[in-house]
Chain A
Amino acid sequence: MAEYIRVSALNALARRVLETCDPLNNLIVCGEISNFTRHSKSGHLYFTLKDEQSSVKTVMFRDKARLLGFAPQNGMLVLVYGRATLYERDGAFQVYAEYMRPFGAGAAQMAFDALRKKLEAEGLFDPARKRPLPPMPRCIGVVTSKTGAALQDVCHVIGRRWPLTKLLLAPVNVQGLEAEQSILDGIHALDADTRPDLILVTRGGGSKEDLWVFNSERIARAVSQCRKPVVSAVGHEIDYTILDYVADLRAPTPSAAAEVCVPDIRQVRQNLFILRQNIQKNMQSRLQMCYNNLNVLAPQRALAAQKAALEGRAKALQDVAEAVKSANITQMRQKDLALRTAAAMAESLSPYGVLARGYTIVRDKSGHCRSVGQLKSGQCITIQGADAAASCTVNQVDSFSPEETS
């Protein structure tokens, strides 16, 4: 009877042999995905990798599949990182995938399109979700490589345009297997920190593969859940990543991102200058207005002053007039009294007064008073007494000296 071994021994033997072969334990396989299934309960991925001639079964366990940055699908060309060995139960040679990523432009595009459609359907790219950037951020969180050119560009542009801001750098790996987690940590840390007003996720140019990490679904979801606005700038103008779609603002390059994040100091100085001019003009026109109002009031005040002066003078004039009038009356009375006194005096001196006492007045024909010495003999004269007059003819006039009469 020939020697035999059991199936399980065969498979165990084959597996042991395979596991001694180092290249199988650490390999990267390129192939197209087919028969892709995700086990509904376990979450493990099962699929076949194939090329033109051959195919191999592949499995990716749930904890690894969870970290995939894209959705694998049939027809997609991928690079699978892992090991290959025998699954003893089925005697099946298969690949155990640790990590995989789309390979080549076509596959990458497929993965990219699929994720974009999925997130778009969920509304993550909705323009209504985009938040405005603060006009003058006091602090900007930057998620980028500490050694990259992108950080240099950002520092240079912001230092020139708006040095009032502060950059809070979360240094991350932007390449390699840890890149995704590193970027996620950076975003989370900056979103949790109270200082940054916005978050800038950026890296400089690179190959499609270099930039692939920014198509990660986990990063996209982290950004969509950020409380702060997020600006993305990955690679160059032509490079679009999923991050760009989900970010609040996408800039074509790190420098351009720095430009949109901050105002231009020259513009702000100009605005400050205009503000100052407006304030000065306002003050000037305000003062001018007050002067004008005062000028309108001044003539009215002058008129009122004139009127008051006029009234004062009219009063003075009236006072003087009254004083003159009363002085006049007093004087009239005085003169009247003097006149009466003089009249009485005159009355007492009247020659007619003495006639009553027996004296006479001699008059010539024309009625003029004449002294006796002036008379001529033969002259007709009238002798007037107190109550009668006598017509006489002078017979003779004799002169005598005054002594003789006494």
Chain B
Amino acid sequence: MRTPKNFEDGLARLQEILRQMQDETTTLDKSVKLYAEAAQLIAYCNNTLDQAKLQIEEIDAASAKETAGE
């Protein structure tokens, strides 16, 4: 499994997995692999939610303007 970039990426992949599993042309073998991947993604997503902490950063609008003006 590739590690998702972030929570949204993981969630999107989970939705894609469900879609693929619902597709009747997906083989049982493939479904089992997708299922294993989904289990890891769910763990990742839950973990990300558990550990999330709001970050705050400041930018200096005036200096940004000077830089832009150069």
Contact = CB atoms under 8 A, between A and B. Distances in A.
B8 A136 contact: yes
B1 interface: no
B68 A158 contact: no
B58 interface: yes
B57 A188 contact: no
Interface string B2-32: 0000111001001101100110000010011
Interface residues of A, number: 38
B21 A168 contact: no
Nearest to A170: B61
Interface in B13-70: 14-15, 17-18, 21-22, 28, 31-32, 35, 38, 42, 45-46, 48-49, 52-62, 64-65, 68
A228 B31 CA distance: 39
Contact of A169 (B8, B42, B57, B65): B57
Contacts of A287: 28
Contacts of B35: 279, 283
B14 A185 contact: no
- Residue among B28, B42, B61 having the largest count of chain A Cβ atoms under 10 Å: B61
Interface in A280-311: 282-283, 286-287, 290
A356 B52 CA distance: 135
A172 B61 contact: yes
Contact of B59 (A158, A163, A170, A290): A170
Contacts of A165: 54
A193 B64 contact: yes
A163 B56 CA distance: 10
A282 B64 contact: no
Contacts of B8: 136, 138
Nearest to A278: B18
- The secondary-structure label for the interface of chain B is helix
Contact of A282 (B22, B49, B68): B22
Contacts of B6: 138, 164
A265 interface: yes
B20 to A, nearest CB: 10
A155 B49 contact: no
Contact of A171 (B31, B52, B58): B58
B56 to A, nearest CB: 5
Contacts of B14: 272, 275, 279
Contacts of A283: 21, 31-32, 35
B55 A279 contact: no
Contact of B38 (A163, A268, A276): A276
A163 B68 contact: no
Interface string A254-279: 00000000000100110010011011
Given A163-B54, A189-B59, A279-B35, 8 more contacts: A136-B7, A164-B52, A167-B56, A168-B57, A171-B61, A182-B62, A192-B64, A269-B49
Interface of A: 136, 138, 146, 155, 158-159, 162-172, 182, 185-186, 188-190, 192-193, 265, 268-269, 272, 275-276, 278-279, 282-283, 286-287, 290
23 contacts: A138-B6, A164-B6, A165-B54, A167-B55, A169-B57, A170-B58, A170-B61, A182-B62, A185-B65, A186-B61, A188-B64, A188-B65, A188-B68, A189-B65, A190-B61, A265-B49, A265-B52, A268-B49, A272-B45, A283-B31, A283-B32, A287-B28, A290-B28
A-B pairs with the 10 shortest C-beta distances? A189-B64, A189-B61, A159-B54, A185-B61, A163-B52, A163-B54, A166-B55, A186-B61, A164-B52, A170-B61
Interface of B: 6-8, 11, 14-15, 17-18, 21-22, 28, 31-32, 35, 38, 42, 45-46, 48-49, 52-62, 64-65, 68
